Amino acid sequence: MWREEKEWLHYVKNIIAADVSSAVFLASYLRYTSISKDYAAALEVVDLQKYKVIKKANKIKIALRERSKIPFVFVVGKN
């Protein structure tokens, strides 16, 4: 099935992948998930269409994913 022997390589930040392009993809995805996870705790979502402010981190993640294209939904910092 495989013409050549595939080898798993250990890259920086504990990423294990078969080739460099897979390792780059996994590293960028890991960075994206860690940044979005950390930022959700420091944000609030103000939804003017439903007259509510979303403050919980798990609800913020859902709101950012689902309401990103809806007008009058704003993401603000908690400070």
What is the per-residue pLDDT across 52-78, written as a single tens digit (0 to 9) for each?
999 888 888 888 778 767 788 888 887
Closest CA to 57 of 33, 36, 32: 36
Q: How many CA atoms lie within 13 A of 77 on its CB side?
A: 1
Contacts (Cβ under 8 Å, ≥6 apart) of 76: 43, 44, 45, 46
Q: Is the model's pTM score more than 0.75?
A: no
- How many CB atoms neighbour CB 60 within 10 A? 20
**CA gap 61, 29 in Å, rounded:** 16
Please report which confidence band the pLDDT of residue 2 belongs to, taking 50, 70 and 90 as the band edges: very low
Contacts (Cβ under 8 Å, ≥6 apart) of 58: 40
Q: Which pLDDT belongs to residue 6? A: 58
Mean pLDDT of the chain: 76
